[in-house]
Amino acid sequence: MSLKDKISDDLKTSMKARDAVRTGVIRMSIAAIVNKQIELGHELSDEDVISVLTTEAKKRRDAAEQFRNGARNELADKEEAEFAILKEYLPEQMGEDEIRVIVKDVIATAGAESMKDLGAVMKQLMPKIKGKADGALVNKIVRSELS
Terminus-to-terminus CA distance in the chain, angstroms?
Answer: 45
State whether 82 and 100 are in the same domain: no
Q: Between these two residues, 20 and 142, which has the higher pLDDT value?
A: 20
CATH number at residue 114: 1.10.10.410
b/e code 45-58 from CB counts within 10 Å (16+ = b): eeebbbebbbebbe
Residue 4 to residues 13, 15, 38, 137, Cα–Cα distance (Å): 14, 17, 15, 28
State whether 78 and 140 are in the same domain: no
Give 77-120 pLDDT, tens digit per residue: 999 999 999 999 988 888 888 888 888 888 888 887 878 888 88
State whether 65 and 110 are in the same domain: no
What is the pLDDT, as a whole number, of residue 84? 93
State whether 34 and 51 are in the same domain: yes
Considering the entire predicted model, what is its pTM? 0.77
CATH number at residue 39: 1.10.1510.10
What is the pLDDT, as a whole number, of residue 94? 84
pLDDT band for position 125 (cuts 50, 70, 90): confident
State whether 41 and 111 are in the same domain: no
State whether 28 and 63 are in the same domain: yes
Number of domains, the chain: 2
State whether 83 and 141 are in the same domain: no
Last residue of a domain, one of 87, 107, 126: 87
- Report the chain's mean pLDDT, rounded to a whole number: 89
Percent residues over pLDDT 90 in the chain:
50
Last residue of a domain, one of 87, 116, 134: 87
State whether 101 and 40 are in the same domain: no
Range of the domain at 11: 3-87
Q: Between these two residues, 53 and 115, which has the higher pLDDT value?
A: 53
